[in-house]
Copies of this chain bind each other. A is one copy, B any other.
């Protein structure tokens, strides 16, 4: 689908965006703000030629006007836009003119749907895929193999540590050596709860309540608190970086609901914090609460995420940043898009 669509040294890069919620709209906002910079810096003219969402789609070969689409989404009036049709993804994928599918629908780690369907349909059409959807955990290796065989790019930076460029760091910055193991704080909600317990002496229940009131935890907190989110991320990380072929069910998982304030205070007295750590040595994948020295670079507080690479030549390297957030995750999606555009 990549065309020789040059204008001088300028290349058109056409995007079909599926999912127009926080991350999809964030992606459009970043593009609206930075399109000119990307043209100048990378010779990439990035166009949104299609957007599909629950109620229908917008399609325009010339590029959908961004500010307008963002405005209609923000006002929750997507169906009022002049480009609106009630066509679904299935209708649009067969005809949209796009080089890259950006898949930004919600995660479903049981069935993987509708994310997997979208991604496979894009590969069928010869499109590259960039996704923020952790559903890829369900079929990770199949997707990677399909993309490789077809010579297509498949990128998923936003799925783990939205604000931390983990996969591109691994691929672009650690080429000269092997990564031996990884471990990290992969979920900001649980880290926030553990931080409140450690710093303010709150019980688990009070800290969770506070996290809910601040919008950091969902009403149904099991996805975070029981380590489900961390586990999905660990599987993607380990398969991508350590070449494992694990599935969600292969991970030994324990959440934070049973951690007592007493345990945290005892750890604190001895110079440790308790953090929910996901780790893989390439064979065993485990998510569980662990003692982390307060002096360790991995011991970050609040909603931060941190990942430590144990490498062959650099000892350990730790990268710390925001794990989630609409703009952070959208920016990871954009990074993937630009890296594909710069290569093609």
Contacts and interface: CB of A to CB of B under 8 A. Distances in A.
A44 to B, nearest CB: 10
This chain: how many copies in the complex?
A: 2
Given A165-B174, A306-B297, A331-B177, A318 B320 contact: yes
Interface residues of A, number: 46
A178 B38 CA distance: 11
Contacts of A42: 175
A338 B176 contact: yes
Interface of A (DSSP majority class) = mixed
Interface string A39-55: 00110000000000000
A155 B17 CA distance: 37
9 contacts: A163-B315, A163-B317, A164-B317, A176-B331, A297-B320, A314-B321, A315-B321, A317-B320, A319-B319
A300 interface: yes
A319 B300 CA distance: 12
Contacts of A41: 175
A148 to B, nearest CB: 15
A172 interface: yes
A216 interface: no
Contacts of A297: 297, 300, 304, 306, 320
A327 interface: yes
Interface string A309-344: 000011111111110010110110011011100100
B327 A316 contact: no
Contact of A331 (B313, B320, B337): B313
Interface string A151-179: 00000000000011100110011111110
B30 A313 contact: yes
A295 interface: yes
Contacts of A172: 168-169, 172-173, 339
Contact of A334 (B176, B306, B317, B337): B176
Contacts of A24: none
A318 B308 CA distance: 12
Given A175-B339, A297-B300, A322 B314 contact: yes
A121 to B, nearest CB: 26
A9 B30 CA distance: 39
Contacts of A3: none
Given A165-B169, A295-B301, A176 B321 contact: no
